[in-house]
């Protein structure tokens, strides 16, 4: 991990950057730093990376005032030869060092690249856009597991690389638009988040249900059973695109369900397809102490079905009115629309004692935008273009467990191995 110090360089006669490369093995870092300790040098910065057993270690040192660097460099060269690694030395000008120290307060962001498979072109284009907007890449890390050379073409592989960047874009909205366009063009996802304490301390995740946790719209499935599938589906699509108000569309669709037999609910629940990655995501969130909630414009019956299956902490959806075993076409209580979802998010966050900045909201439709807009991390998941453009972040290429990458988790950190395994 990188550290930035404000060491008084007047106490150093020289500032040197040591670059050690070679085959990774235990003891390289300890041996080199032990050698440096013998000369009482200050470590001004240090960073290490290992890629396919190849070590790259950088150490920025301050040689004590009055000391000569020649014996130190000679001993380091001998030690490197003994260890079977290569070492080079670059002098650093004091003014350049001072300028570097002054930059430590600059804004930092995390850019996350997600895809089924990452190519050189993906990284080239992403880094080009970042550079065009004044962002400097400080660190690159792979969060996904190691990739086998041969994989099943049908396997839903996942890949993720995280970039830590320094600087403030002159036009944040233009940068976001550029990344959205690049993501669409290359069939990848790109998220950019401010690297602050809230990103590393999310505590509550709320989900839409239909077309988010499940790959279906429940009301459409009920409509098929009632023989009005095409009519209801058309209204649903119009509402999801934001063309008509959710409350109006909901009333129109509910009216078409009048007279549906109650027994249909169990049959529909049993066949609902879960979204890719949902079980892995929720299991990991629960194990890590996150609170989870379903905030849905769908129905409580199906929300509770998922709650029993996966253990969600909260479920808020619409309660179907059933009289004499038949759906009446009405709901009991307040309709859960977009504004109600946002209100529920605020209420649950307050009851759990977490700030909105510590929350994550996930949804796909226009009626999810109010909660996505107030959450610390709002994610449009496999959403319509209007929602993708309006939400802070979007995931379209991977399953729901891709969210774990956005909060900084590596595959090896999670409970269940995911293809390809680490």
DSSP for 294-311, written as a single string:
EEEEEEHHHHHHHHHHH-
Instruction: Give dist(CA 232, CA 252) in Å, integer.
Output: 8
Residue 369 bridge partners (DSSP):
none
Residue with tokens 């396919």: 52
> Any idea which residue has 């009055």 for tokens?
66
The DSSP bridge pattern shows strands 377-381 and 393-395 to be parallel
* 226: nearest Cα among 253, 257, 255: 257
Nearest Cα neighbor of 125 from 166, 163, 97 is: 163
Which one of 210, 220, 337, 401 is the catalytic residue?
210
Dihedral angle sign, alpha carbons of residues 404, 407, 413, 415: negative
Q: Are 331 and 342 in contact (CB under 8 A)?
A: no
Q: What is the distance between the alpha carbons of residues 249 and 236, in angstroms, rounded to a whole number?
A: 7
Bridge partner list, 86: 21
Which position among 208, 220, 401, 411 bears the catalytic label? 208
How many angstroms separate the CA atoms of 96 and 90, rounded? 13
Say if CB 253 and CB 219 are below 8 A apart.
yes
Asked about 132 being catalytic, the answer comes back as no
Residue 208 known to be catalytic: yes
Instruction: Determine contact, residues 394/189, Cβ cutoff 8 Å.
Output: yes
Q: Which residues pair with 14 in a beta bridge?
A: 63
Structure tokens at 181: 């366009």
Greatest Cα pair distance in the chain: 94
Q: Is 25 helix (H, G, I), strand (E, B) or coil?
A: coil
- Residues with a catalytic annotation lie at 208, 210
């Amino acid at each position: 991990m990188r550290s930035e110090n404000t060491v008084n360089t007047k106490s150093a006669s020289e500032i040197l950057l040591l670059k050690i490369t070679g085959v990774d093995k235990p003891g390289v870092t300890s041996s080199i730093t032990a050698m440096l300790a013998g000369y009482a040098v200050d470590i001004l910065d240090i960073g290490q990376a290992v890629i396919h057993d190849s070590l790259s270690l950088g150490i920025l040192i301050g040689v004590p005032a009055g000391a000569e660097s020649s014996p130190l460099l000679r001993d380091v060269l001998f030690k490197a030869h003994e260890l079977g690694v290569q070492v080079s030395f670059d002098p650093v000008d004091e003014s350049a060092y001072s300028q570097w120290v002054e930059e430590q307060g600059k804004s930092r962001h995390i850019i996350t690249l997600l895809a089924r498979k990452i190519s050189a072109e993906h990284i080239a284009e992403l880094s080009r856009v970042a550079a065009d907007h004044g962002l400097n890449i400080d660190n690159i890390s792979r969060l996904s597991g190691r990739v086998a050379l041969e994989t099943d073409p049908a396997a839903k592989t996942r890949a993720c690389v995280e970039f830590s960047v320094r600087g403030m874009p002159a036009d944040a909205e233009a940068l976001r638009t550029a990344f959205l366009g690049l993501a669409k063009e290359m069939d990848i996802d790109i998220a950019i988040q401010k690297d602050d304490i809230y990103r590393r301390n999310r505590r509550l995740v709320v989900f839409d249900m239909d077309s988010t946790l499940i790959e279906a719209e429940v009301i459409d499935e009920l409509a098929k059973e009632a023989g009005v599938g095409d009519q209801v589906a058309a209204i649903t699509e119009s509402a999801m695109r934001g063309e008509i108000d959710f409350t109006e569309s909901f009333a129109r669709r509910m009216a078409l369900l009048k007279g549906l037999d109650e027994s249909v609910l169990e049959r529909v629940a049993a066949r609902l397809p879960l979204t890719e990655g949902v079980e892995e995501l929720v299991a990991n969130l629960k194990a890590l102490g996150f609170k989870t909630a379903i905030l849905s414009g769908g129905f409580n019956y199906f929300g509770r079905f998922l709650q029993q299956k996966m253990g969600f902490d909260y479920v808020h959806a619409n309660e179907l009115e059933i009289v004499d075993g038949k759906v009446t076409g009405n709901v009991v209580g307040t309709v859960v629309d977009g504004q109600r979802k946002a209100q529920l998010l605020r209420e649950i966050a307050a009851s759990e004692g977490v700030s909105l900045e510590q929350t994550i909201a996930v949804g796909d439709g226009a009626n999810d935008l109010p909660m996505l807009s107030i959450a610390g991390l709002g994610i449009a998941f496999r959403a319509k273009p209007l929602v993708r453009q309006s939400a802070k972040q979007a995931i379209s290429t991977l399953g729901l467990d891709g969210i774990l990458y956005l909060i900084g988790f590596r595959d090896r950190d999670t409970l269940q191995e995911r293809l390809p395994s680490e």
